[in-house]
Amino acid sequence: MKTTSIFSTLLLSTLALAVPLNTRDCQAQNLQTFTGALGGIAATPVENSGNADRPFSVKGDTFVNLSAALQRSCDQQFNACANAANAGTGNFSVADCSAQQTACGAAN
């Protein structure tokens, strides 16, 4: 009886340690390390999807491996950058966006 009681106490203590203490501990971590941002347009965050089969997420799209997710993130940054360059909203060209995309891919 004492053994069961001690085991239950230890189990509950261990579970209590595994639960985050506040919501900040639950926030997603961005796995995209590239920080270049022409026109203030950053690469899309790459986060944990919570799905064990497709653990990486970029704007709701999930991926099996990190490299594919990072590539999508760089591609999305390029598209947004090129759109801004074509619209004339920044002091950069589509070629500059392309160079940034290459750097983004190389950083990951």
pLDDT at site 28: 63
CA angle 48, 98, 71 (to 5 degrees): 20
Is the residue at 15 inside a domain?
A: no
Statement: residue 62 has pLDDT above 80:
yes
Q: How many domains does the chain have?
A: 1
Its domain, for residue 102, covers 28-107
What is the pTM assigned to this prediction? 0.74
Is the residue at 6 inside a domain?
A: no
pLDDT at site 12: 40
Kindly report, residue by residue over 66-105, the tens digit of the pLDDT.
Answer: 999 999 999 999 999 999 999 999 899 999 999 999 999 9
Is the residue at 20 inside a domain?
A: no
Is the residue at 60 inside a domain?
A: yes
Is the residue at 90 inside a domain?
A: yes
Kindly report, residue by residue over 15-35, the tens digit of the pLDDT.
Answer: 333 434 333 334 569 999 999
Classify residue 57 as exposed, middle or buried by CB count within 10 Å of its CB (0-12, 13-18, 19+).
buried
